[in-house]
Structure 1
């Protein structure tokens, strides 16, 4: 897994039934991994062709070339193959650690209840393959390779999912990514505890001390990335000198760099600096603007944005080029195909993964540990579980660490490559079988559940305008359209061509005053003052106590006694609940969520992007339909 943008500025539900929409870092991760899968496959093919060509000697000689780093009397020397596996792969796992920390802090895994079923699936997807491997492999040195079958290559898995999986598989991807988070943590732990060499105690103590540096920098609120990079580099060096595998340093370094959601004040301050630069494009003003942007986004996310392309398009393919080159001539292929080690690896990955992941996931649901993501069925789970048998990157890394002899290492490598082909084919068959049972798309609904009704909905603009934009919003959300000015900008741009519809989606777990504020807006609507109250609530989104709402009712000229009666009326609460139900039925999981015409919008929701979508897909259905 190397790693993953809209959700950083979207308020998401916490512990209600309304689960968060896929975050922007996660979508970037998906795009990077799926895009790099083709390059990774090309690197595998190039390595095999090179290693089996008349120039195979140059392949071996290249990766055996020594390279050194020295500073004074301190020198670190390794061959290129080890620089790739111990150096560049540490960067790979550093990005994994960053993404895990982000998802646990502000991303998809903030609700720990969502971890239960994927955790059960991940543990089953490691235990069953290991048992199958040990059952097939001969006792002795071959048993050391049991770790080869525990890993999943996220890049290959997602690339294969894009080819053989459902047309829309966002929710299945969320499930599989959650699973691989746990998978990667366990895999790195196994590498560190089982496959590392003899440890050096002073260097190990230095590792423990250096672990506190990124955490301390995060706690102190240091926003520049350079100190974190220096601390993690020192942690990597200490880990190598301690005799531990460098992947440990990468994962730990990423996990220790905190992630946080952008604050409203920081975003506004950055916007002020940008406007100042627009008015006075001077170097010092531009530097202030850049610093303002950096302050608004956590170091964790900024490092992800810089490193994702490098790990996806350089590090992982280079690792494949260095490790997939098995010379299959001279009977090596025939020997590998007749070896129990090869088939132990293939059995563990191709049979063990779908059985372990699929059965444990369904057992977790049956036992009440949690639920599968909405839109994901049992057939989807088994299809995705089959693709998790593509263990490529981590499997090859562990094979190189587990076996000292080239013969066993080559047999395990052939098993990993064979498993990648078989697992993809099995995934295709399982997805086709699921489709025959009616399990097609593994995604949230994409269509507006309840058509716009001028007699019921809150509409700004002409009721029969040709373009429609529906927003599900929360009055305590600082990034909703009214709060950011997006709605006003769009109305100024389109004029009478646009009808803007606001529907309620209060998220009480993250915004404790949002539900009462939504009821206040509905109560104001009973006196024909919805939009006045709407604007005032967003203008004071940080002041929504009961006394504040009464004050706003006075400000907009409401009969306060009547307003209070409507505020407590069950019909008012039912009106809000109906909007929430419509939001869930349409796939809205956070605020703001926009529907352009009748289609749920995904991606950035700035005015320019929404305007383009409205021009292309914003046709309004006839009023009342």
Structure 2
């Protein structure tokens, strides 16, 4: 009887871990939504001038001649977003090692869906903007905002198969890889080779700390990571790329296997129990303190720095960094002049790329892969479920806005039009995805578990 209870634990641990991730992303999506609405209301209120003035406030850090001075909006987009991309890098590394992208059979469907979901929207946009100044924005409709997408999916509760949630998360991870490559290759305008060499040197040292010297403490990686970020910022390559590359150097191995961990915990627990003395507390009981330190050592050895850092960063990214990014970037004036220009090529390219291109690319790729017998649909999902997920993949929001800021010069009309089109397209895609999964896709919560 006890053995039957122990066996399911690894699977339960994976599902519980994903469930926590899903709830975190979903709650973060709600925080994003609140900050987006706040930004739009503020930017279209009598206090609109204070909104723009706040984000243009210059913030300066440094000592002596080593000074970095930037507007607040740039500290957010270049600095805080580097932390976000660092977390993305950790998630990518985890998915490649043990997650939904760790085996070929698991990888084929989400990779195909993500590639289709990037290529088709880009073609939609380029087809409407070829030969124009706005053609540089072809990367905008390629992106997916996983927090918003999972936030909408969470509203459907048990109607949505767990397999579909994992599939959409894996698609978004591959989508992030594509966005990172696009930013690094196509949105780098100038290159300082000296600064780049410093940044790459820092990354090599970080890799050596992990692979050669086995350093697991986070402080050396943090110090070197800041240096790498600054070097990339000065090199001309967007600083967020430094976050992704730095994440790849973080240790992902353990120093203690499961049996040793259990044995050390059991021994420490016995020592702790035997040391219980009436009238004494842990503060005055040396044997219990030693036992607790042994437990702490066992925990540190049995876990990985990657998962510990990822766990620590997730709340900050979900409930601080991304909402701040939305508050600073989503505030666009909805005046009559801008609304009249919504039917310009850049706006139409973004709208149709996110709303139509994502549906065609993601759903079409899944159908083709399945028909060719290369990979099955995710567990307990149908093509209708995948169509709903494809609609939600069209919620580009923060990632699309981020790329728009890189594609066009700050403060230009193209940036404003892009942001409005992204907001409208994300809203339409979110509503469509909800409707498809709510009313058209089969309700698995009413099915038997057999």
- Same fold per superposition (TM over 0.5): yes
Hey, what's the Cα distance between the residues in 2 that align with 1:158 and 1:67?
34
Residue of structure 2 in register with 1:300 after alignment = 306
Q: CA deviation at 1:272?
A: 4.2
TM-score normalized by the length of structure 1: 0.65
2:216 counterpart (223, 234, 246): 223
1: distance between equivalents of 2:341 and 2:18? 39
Q: CA deviation at 1:271?
A: 5.3
Structure 1: give runs of 5+ residues left out of the alignment: 1-8, 13-19, 450-625
Secondary structure of the 1:76 match is strand
Q: Describe the shift of the 1:72–1:364 C-alpha distance in structure 2 as closer, same or farther (beyond 3 A).
A: same
Q: Which runs of 5+ in 2 are unaligned?
A: 1-7, 277-281
* Distance change in 2, residues 1:272/1:221 (3 Å): farther
Over residues 481-525 of structure 1, what are the superposed CA-to-partner deviations in whole Å (9 max), with x where a residue is unaligned? xxxxxxxxxxxxxxxxxxxxxxxxxxxxxxxxxxxxxxxxxxxxx
Q: CA RMSD in A?
A: 2.5
What is the alpha-carbon distance in structure 2 between the residues aligned to residue 166 and residue 410 of structure 1?
A: 38
Q: Say which of 260, 264, 267 aligns to 1:269.
A: 264
Q: Does 1:406 align with 2:412?
A: yes
Residue 441, structure 1, aligned to residue 444, structure 2: yes
Bigger helix share = 2
Once residues 138 and 209 of structure 1 are traced to their aligned partners in structure 2, the CA distance between those partners, rounded to angstroms, is 39
- TM-score scaled by structure 2? 0.89
The residue correspondences of 1:555-594 to structure 2 (distance < 5 A) are none
Match 2:249 to one of 236, 249, 256: 256
Tell me the alpha carbon deviations over residues 200-252 of structure 1, each in whole angstroms, 9 at most, x when there is no partner. 10111122222223332322332322222222222212111211112101111
Map of 2:3 onto structure 1: none
Looking at structure 2, the residues matched to 441 and 214 of structure 1 have their Cα atoms a distance apart, in angstroms, of 46
Alignment correspondent of 1:182: 174
1:55 pairs with one of 38, 43, 47: 47
The DSSP-based 3-state class of the residue aligned with 2:61 is: strand
Give the structure 2 partner of residue 348 of structure 1: 353
1:421 counterpart = 2:427: yes
Please give the alpha-carbon distance, in whole angstroms, between the structure 2 residues aligned to 1:391 and 1:251.
Answer: 20
Query: 1:86, 1:388 → 2: CA distance?
Result: 25
Say if 2:436 is the partner of 1:430. yes
Q: Relative to 1, partners in 2 of residues 1:207 and 1:23: Cα closer, same or farther, differing over 3 Å?
A: farther
Partners of 2:24 and 2:315 within 8 A in 1: yes
Residue 268 to residue 90, structure 1, CA distance change in 2 (3 Å): farther
- Measure, in 1, the Cα distance between the counterparts of 2:419 and 2:317: 22
Change (3 A) 1:43 1:275: farther
- Number of equivalenced pairs: 429
- Give 2:154's match in structure 1, choosing from 122, 147, 162: 162
CA distance in 1, matches of 2:406, 2:170: 26
2:230 aligned with 1:237, yes or no?
yes
Query: Structure 1 residues 324, 382: closer, same or farther in 2, change over 3 A?
Result: same
Give the distance between the partners of 2:181 and 2:338, measured in 1 at CA: 32
Max Rg structure: 1
Q: Which has the higher contact order (CA 8 A, sep 6+)?
A: 2
More displaced 10-residue stretch of structure 1: 291-300 or 305-314: 291-300
